[in-house]
Structure 1
Amino acid sequence: MAASLSDIAERAGVSIKTVSGALHGGSARMSEETRSRIKQIAEELGYVTNLAARGVRQGWLPLIGVVADELITSPFATEIIRGLDGAARTAEMAVFAMNLNGTRDVASVLEEVRRFRPRAIAYAAMYHKTVALPEALVGNVGIMINCSEANGRVTSLVPDEESAAFEITRHLLAAGRRRIAFINLPGLLAGELRERGFRKALHEAGFAPTGVVPAVRRPIYSDRAPSLVGTHIDGLMNASERPDAILCGNDRVAMEVYSALRRVGARIPDDVAVGSFDNQVEIATRLDPPLTTMALPHRAMGRLAAEILLGEETVPPQTRRLPFQLISRSSI
C-alpha cells in the first residue's frame, strides 16, 4: 500500500499538519532540520502526493491550465509553454494546454480546462493579437500571453514590437545603411507596430523609407498566401535608387529575400544587408550568411506569466511589453 501522511507522521514523531507543511508548503512552523527529516522519511517510504485528495482539500490542483489559441501549431511560439513550465516546476506545479482553433470556441475550451481544477489559467496566442473575451469568462483567465484583452480587463504580456523595429533599424543605420526598405506582414498587429518603429527610427535619423511593401498578395499575412517577395525585390533592385538594406517582417520572408537577391546577383551583406524578426533558429542559423534578427521574448513571457499567476499579490490589470533581443549575425 502507498505510504500516507499519517505513516510519515508516526515515523517522524510529529503531527500530520507538520508533515503536510513540510511536503506541501503548508502553514505549519518547523525547523529546517525537521523539514529535511520529514522529506527523507517520505522518500524512504515511497510517499507520492495524492493530488486528487489535495485538490479536494484546497479547492485546486497544482496545475496551470493554458487555453492555447493555435499556439501548439507554431514551432517557435511553444517557447511560451517552455518558459511557463520551467517557472511552474520551480513552484512544484505542472502545466497542461487545451488547443483552441476554428472548430471550438473559447467558452468550451475554457470549461474543459476548468474541469481539471487548476490553480490558475492563462490564455496564450500563436501570434500577437487582440482578443475579446466574453464578459462571463474574464474572471476565469488570470493572464493573457502574446495577446492583449480587448477591453483591458486582464493583465497582458506582449512583445514590444515597435521598440524591436526601432532597435534593428537603428542597428542598420549604425552599420552605414541609408536606403532601407521594409517587406512587412500585412494585416497583422505585429506588422503595424513594427512599421511604426521602423519609420520612427528613420525619421529621427533624417531619412525616409526606400519602400514599405507587403510580403504576400492577401490582405492578412499567412505563410501559405501567394508571395510578392520576388516581385518586390525585382522592382527595388531595378529602381534608380536601389536599397542597401532590407528589413523583413519575419525570418520566412527573409529566406525568400535571400533567394530573390541572389537571383538578381546581389550579395549579402556587401550589396544589401538583411535584417528580420522572430529568430526562428532553424532558418536564421542555416541561411548563408546567417541572419541578423530580433528574437521574440516568448520564453520570458512564459516565465513572467507563471510568476504573476502564482504570486501572492493581486495587481490591477495592465499591459506589459517585453523587449526583443537583437541576435547579431553576418547578414548586416
Structure 2
Amino acid sequence: MISVRHQEKDESKVATIYDVAKLAGVSPKTVSRVLNGDAPVKKQTRDAVDAAMAELGYVPSNAARMMRSNKSGLVGLITGAISHGIEPIEPEGLPDLFIVQGIQHVMGSSGKTLMISDTDGVSDQVPHLIRTFLQHRVEGIIYVADHHKRVTLPKVPDDFPIVLANCFDPEGHPSVLPDDKQGQKDLVAKLIQSGHRRIGYLTLDRTLVATGLRYRGYREALAEADIPYADELVSMGYEEGQERESQILMQALDRLLSLEEPPTVICCGNDEMALRLYGLLRSRGIRVPEDISVAGYDNYRVIAETLFPPLTTVELPYFTMGQIAARHLLALMSEQEEKPELPGLVGSPVCWRSSVTALNTVSVLNSKGRNNQ
C-alpha cells in the first residue's frame, strides 16, 4: 500500500526542468538551451532531453520562456480575407485569402504562432488592430490588402518589423507586390508574337494602382513592337462603385466593335470581366476565338479553366507573394545584424490557353491551302 501511494504521489507531481535534466543526464542549463534554441546543442544531447521530456510529460511554460527570451513567438496578420466574399454574388478571385494561405504555409514550419485579425472590410480598423497586436507583444506584423493599393498605417516603433503584402505605404515599409506592369506587357508581347496588331484593352477603374501600371505595360509592349498606340482601342470596362457594370462593359464593347478596323483580340482587366465579355460577344453571334480572341488577368482558375474555350490570362502570384512576405518578416525578426533587401515585385507569368487565335499560324495555313489548290 505504501508503494502504491508513493507511486500515485510521483504520478501527480508536476515535472520540472530539473527533473528533465536529471533523467537526461545533463545540466538544467542544457535543457534550457534545447527549449529556447538560443545556443547550439549536440543532436545526441537534444534527443536525450526530448526523450526525457516525453517520458516525464514535461510541458514548458511559454510565459516563462517569453519572459526569459523577451520573445512571444507570436506573429500578427491583418487581413480582410475572412469576411471578404462570404456570399459572393459574382464569381471573383480571393487574392487576400490566397496570400494568407501562402503566409500560413511558411509560418506553420517556423515555430511561430500566427494570430489573425480580420478588418471586416473596414480599413479604419487597421490602426486599432495594430495597437492590439503590439499590446500582445507580437514579434512582427503582416498586413494583407485585397488589391494592389496604397495604405496608411499608424505610427509604430522604427525597429518593429512590418511587411505589407499586395499594398505599399508612404513610410516605405517592406512591400511584396505583383509586377502588374510587366505582366500586362508580357501578355501583349505574346499576343503580338501570335500575329495580333489591333489589340483592344478594356481596363479596370483607372483610379486603381494596378490599372495605371498595366496600361503602361500595354503601351510599352506596343512601342517595342513598333505598333502605333491607338487611343480608340482602350476603354474602361469597369468603374469602381458602379452597379451598372454590365452596361459599362456593353458600351465599351460596342465602341470597339464599331471601329472601322475592330480589334482582333480584346484584353480584359480581370478574368471576371472576360467572363462577362464571353456572354456579350456570343449574344451578338461573335465566336471566341474564331471571330475575336479574348484574354483576361488574374488566372482565377474557377473562371479561366472552366470557360469554353479556356481563357488566356496572366497569373497573379498571390500564394507566392504570401510566402515571400512571411519569409521576409521572419528574416526581419531574426537577430542577424544585416537585414535582408526588400522583396520587391513578384513576376506574373502568362497562362496561354485556347481563347486566343494565333493569326500568323492561320495565315501560314491559309497560304499553304491556296498553294495546294
Please, what TM-score do these two structures have when normalized by structure 1? Answer: 0.89
TM-superposition CA deviations, 1:109-141 (whole Å, max 9, x none):
111222332221122211111123234566545
In 2, Cα distance between equivalents of 1:274 and 1:3: 67
Partner of 2:116: 97
SS for the counterpart of 1:315 is coil
Q: Judging changes above 3 Å, is the alpha-carbon distance between structure 1 residues 328 and 39 closer, same or farther for their aligned structure 2 residues?
A: farther
Partners of 2:350 and 2:208 lie apart in 1 by 21
Greater CA drift, 34-43 or 77-86: 34-43
- Counterpart of 1:53? 64
- Of 186, 189, 201, the match for 1:170: 189
Q: 2:265 aligns with which of 245, 258, 271?
A: 245
1:4 Cα shift?
4.3
Match of 2:78 in 1: 67
So what's the TM-score if we normalise by structure 2? 0.80
Aligned equivalent of 2:105 = 86
Task: Using the TM superposition, name which of 107-116 and 307-316 deviates more.
Answer: 307-316
Report the equivalent of 2:52: 41
Contact 1:76 1:280 in 2 (8 A): no
Give the direction of change, closer, same or farther, for the CA distance of 1:26–1:316 in structure 2 (3 Å limit). Answer: closer
Q: SS of the counterpart of 2:255?
A: helix
Change beyond 3 A, Cα 1:43–1:294: farther
Q: Secondary structure at the match of 2:73?
A: strand
C-alpha distance in 2 between matches for 1:257 and 1:138: 48
- Structure 1 unpaired stretches of 5+: none
Q: Is the Cα contact below 8 Å between 1:55 and 1:117 reproduced in 2? A: no
Q: Percent identity?
A: 32
- Are 2:34 and 1:15 equivalent residues in the alignment? no
Number of corresponding residues: 326
Larger relative strand fraction: 1
Q: How much does 1:326 deviate?
A: 2.0
Q: Quick check: 1:290 aligned with 2:310?
A: yes
What is the aligned counterpart of 1:263 among 253, 271, 283? 283
Give the residue type in structure 1 aligned to 2:226.
Answer: G
Distance 1:163 1:38 in 2: 52
CA contact (8 A) 2:95 2:147 kept: no
Cα distance in 1 between the residues matched to 2:66 and 2:242: 43
Match of 1:215 in 2: 237
- Paired AA for residue 132 in structure 1: T
Aligned residue type for 2:32: S
Partners of 2:18 and 2:96 in 1: CA distance: 44
RMSD value, Cα: 2.4
Q: Distance in 2 between matches of 1:242 and 1:297?
A: 32
Q: Among residues 25, 34, 38, which one is paired with 2:37 in the alignment? A: 25
User: Could you list the per-position Cα deviations for residues 249-282 of structure 1 after superposition, in whole angstroms to 9, with x for gaps in the alignment?
Assistant: 1111111111111112222222222222112121
Q: Which secondary structure state, in structure 2, belongs to the residue aligned with residue 277 of structure 1?
A: coil
- Closer, same or farther: CA 273–8 of 1 in aligned 2, 3 Å: farther
Distance in 1, Cα, partners of 2:216 & 2:278: 24
Q: Distance in 2 between matches of 1:190 and 1:215?
A: 14
> Quick one: structure 1 residues 292 and 50, their matched pair in 2 at CA, closer, same or farther if it must change by over 3 Å?
farther
Q: Is the 8 A contact 1:84 1:95 kept in 2?
A: no
Question: Runs of 5+ in structure 2 lacking a partner?
Answer: 1-11, 86-93, 357-373
Name the SS of the counterpart of 1:278 in structure 2: coil
